[in-house]
Each structure stands twice: as C-alpha cells, then as structure tokens.
Amino acid sequence: MNSRYVALKAVEIAQEKKAQNLVFLNLKKVSPMADYFIICHGNSSVHMKIIAQELEKKLSEAGVALLNSRKFDNDRWILLDFGFIVIHIFSEEAREYYQLERLWIDAKRELLSGSVSIN
C-alpha cells in the first residue's frame, strides 16, 4: 500500500464522517516530514472526535499505525500522525486562527470534488 493510496483512503473516511472544507496537500517536494497533509474541520468537538476516531480505527484496520498519542480530547485541534500522512482536524475557529494551509503554500493542493474513488 503506497502513501497516496492511504492518504486518499483517509480523505474518503473523513468525507464519510462529514469533515468540513477538506484540503489535501502533497508535501513530497517541499518537506521531508510527511508525504501528505490532510486538513479539515468539524462542526463541534464531538464531531472532531468522531472524525479522529474513525480515521484511527479504519486506518489501523488497514495496517497503518497511529504514531502519536490517541488522545482526542482537544476541542480546537486534533493531530493524527501516521508517519507519511499527517491529518489535522480543527474547530472552525482554530482553523481560521492558525491558517495552516497558508503555512504550506508551496505544497501542491490536490483537488477534491465530492467522494474520492480509490482504484
């Protein structure tokens, strides 16, 4: 399983849980830290936690281990580090405040429309 496949699977999982304003950044040419960033926000802290739990569960079932602590109790920003994929789940207010997409302006933004099909 390559990193792009797993990243697209993560996008699909987040979309199924109604993650808001999802952004998929390809970092391969701009950072050695990770291949992809996925950035989204939830409508509430409960929604953020549900998105995080589902991503951790489904990616773990696919053999992709979560590398950071499994605490999903932050109501502003949940970070999931899967090594080559880092997923940021924000509250809407925190996302606007941190503007993470602007920090990674050099990263290639992958276009997402509707549901992602993985072949």
pLDDT tens per residue, range 57-74: 999 999 999 998 777 778
Residues with pLDDT less than 50, the chain: 114-119
pLDDT score of 98? 94
Domain boundaries, the chain: 3-110
**39 vs 11, 27, 103, 119, CA distance in Å?**
9, 13, 12, 23
Map residue 92 onto helix, strand or coil.
Answer: helix
Topology of the domain covering 3-110: Beta Polymerase; domain 2 (3.30.460)
Please answer whether residues 41 and 90 qualify as being in contact, where contact means their C-beta atoms are separated by less than 8 angstroms. Answer: yes
**84 vs 5, 25, 54, 72, 113, CA distance in Å?**
11, 12, 18, 20, 23
